[in-house]
Structure 1
Amino acid sequence: MADAYTKTKLEHLTEYMVSHLKTGVLDNKIDAWQENAKLVISGEDRGNGGMVIAEWQYNAVISVEGFPHQLFDPRYLLASVACWLSEYDHDRASTELEDPSISVDVLDDGTADVSIEVELSEVIEMIPDPDGLITYQGQQYRVQTAPIYTAEEAEIINEANG
């Protein structure tokens, strides 16, 4: 049985923008896609058989056509992107991703096409699964976040030489 599909960061960001700007200003006017993607191979062991096999890095483009910038403050649009990045993309600094860039093409006195480009990076993890679709080094895996177990208790022993 296949695991449930987990949304990409780009899908989550786009849905976040639409749901938080509940004015209808983005209805049927927003589109999002990826450009210039690359796969950075890792193989980092996560313990318990799980591993990070790669990091998927890409430029996300979010395009809003006919944004009514005279009726709706465009800072709300930009704030929604900044809030999502701050709340859901915690590892941006460690992966050295650039800040978003924005381009605006004014169509007339009331509307503009807005393009927001954001560098995103997503870890691709695998865990052992005899029914998994991926064979790697003679073992079957499925793509899924590897569980990380955290100790709930610890005992420290200090043996003094005397």
Structure 2
Amino acid sequence: MSTYSQTHLEHLTAYMVAHLSGIVLDNKIDAWQENAQLMVSGENLGNGGFLMAQWQYNAVVSVEGFPHKAMDPRYLLASVACWISEFDPDRSEKGLVDPSVSVDVLDDGNVDVTIELELCEDIQMIPDSLGLIRYQGTQYRVQAVPIWTAQEAEITHEADR
């Protein structure tokens, strides 16, 4: 079962730091949310779980003092694009716009880069007698609802009978 350990924004930020070989240090990158919206659903996902809401927000990632002459800035942008492709592939289905980038020149070798993008996260719950949330008479915890996938199937044809 998958539990939530990080928001998309936390995961994106950690991904960028990890993939930019020490050029982007974790103390030079900051990230925050703006203009969040909670879209309530309550959709029954089976297995006793619910999609309670989608949490959509504008994410801002600020990289201070990016050494654009020491590292091609396309690496920074590619890290964001790779993360989106791998971990947020259904953006277009959710109507999320592509990221925007702004650059503020500090000196001949360093720039501050601000990347803004929309993110949308499901808030799912599963039954748990020790869970913190009571919904429709049952206790729940916030966790991704497990998806059961068939391991094998049998196909029959009426004419074969």
TM-score norm. by structure 2 comes to 0.91
1:97 aligns with 2:96: yes
Q: Which residue of 1 aligns with 2:149?
A: 150
Structure number with the bigger relative contact order (C-alpha 8 A, sep ≥ 6) is 2
Deviation at 1:155, TM superposition (A): 2.9
Amino acid paired to 1:10 = L
Partners of 1:5 and 1:152 in 2: CA distance: 26
Q: Which residue of 1 aligns with 2:112?
A: 113
* Cα distance change, pair 21–129 in 1 and its aligned pair in 2 (3 A): same
Aligned residues: 158
Q: Which residue of 1 aligns with 2:83?
A: 84
Q: Can you list the C-alpha shifts for 1:92-151, whole angstroms capped at 9, x where unaligned?
A: 121111100001111222211110001111101001111111011111111111111122
Q: Which residue of 2 aligns with 1:74?
A: 73
Deviation at 1:5, TM superposition (A): 5.2
Q: Which residue of 2 aligns with 1:39?
A: 38
Deviation at 1:153, TM superposition (A): 2.5
Deviation at 1:72, TM superposition (A): 1.8
Partners of 1:135 and 1:19 in 2: CA distance: 38
| Cα RMSD (Å) | 1.7
Q: Can you list the C-alpha shifts for 1:2-51, whole angstroms capped at 9, x where unaligned?
A: x9651111111111111111133434211011111111111111111111
Amino acid paired to 1:95 = K
Unpaired runs of 5+ residues, structure 2, are: none
Amino acid paired to 2:123 = I
1:159 aligns with 2:158: yes
Q: Which residue of 1 aligns with 2:52?
A: 53
Amino acid paired to 2:33 = Q
Unpaired runs of 5+ residues, structure 1, are: none
Partners of 1:24 and 1:106 in 2: CA distance: 17
